[in-house]
Amino acid sequence: MYAAGNALAVAIWLVIGLSLGHTFPTNNHDGTDWFSVFLRLLMGLVMLGLGTNLLLKGPRKGKASSQSASKHSNLRAFSIGMGLMAPNFSSLVLFFPALATITRGAPTRAEEFLLIGLLVLITMSPCLIPLLLVGVAGRGGRALLDRINHWLKPKQWALGLLVCFATAIYLIVSGILAA
């Protein structure tokens, strides 16, 4: 149910992104797609702000909760999945520019459908890969996930900084180059 909550959040992003992507004109008279440029720059600035906020706060003190969503009722697991994915800016800021590139790149409907499916699969992969791993490998998969979690926890703050600033740089530079 956690994955279903994640999927609903991504579906809502998809509806919003498709609505916006098909609403604005694709190119200006000079061939520049100013909507895509604006979207990349805006999302890059959002990630820059998030990274700066994370940097100023510093690493978290104390233990973070590692409670599994599987220990909750179906409705609670669904709500947690939706609640964690809906405001997930590190995914959102990459999802919208990628979706705009797909929808505004004038591929055929079949290519657009295939590329959007791939985008959704990539966006959902942090949720789906652990499910598949545990589903296929059982206890061994769960043990592997526990080892990965143990290794990542002390690095969580630094990884968050890396994701925020690398994503910000990529989006801002790609927005400037597209202008």
3-state SS of the chain is CHHHHHHHHHHHHHHHHHHHHHHCCCCCCCCCCHHHHHHHHHHHHHHHHHHHHHHHHCCCCCCCCCCCHHHCCHHHHHHHHHHHHCCCHHHHHHHHHHHHHHHHCCCCHHHHHHHHHHHHHHHHHHHHHHHHHHHHHCHHHHHHHHHHHHHHHHHHHHHHHHHHHHHHHHHHHHHHHHC
> In this structure, are residues 63 and 124 in contact, taking their beta carbons and an 8 Å threshold?
no
Q: Which two tokens stand for residue 153?
A: 């926890």
Tell me what the pLDDT averaged over the chain comes to. Answer: 85
Tens digit of pLDDT for each residue in 28-42? 677 778 888 888 999
Residue 93: which pLDDT band, with cuts at 50, 70 and 90? confident
pLDDT at 42: 93
Q: Is the pLDDT of residue 69 over 70?
A: no
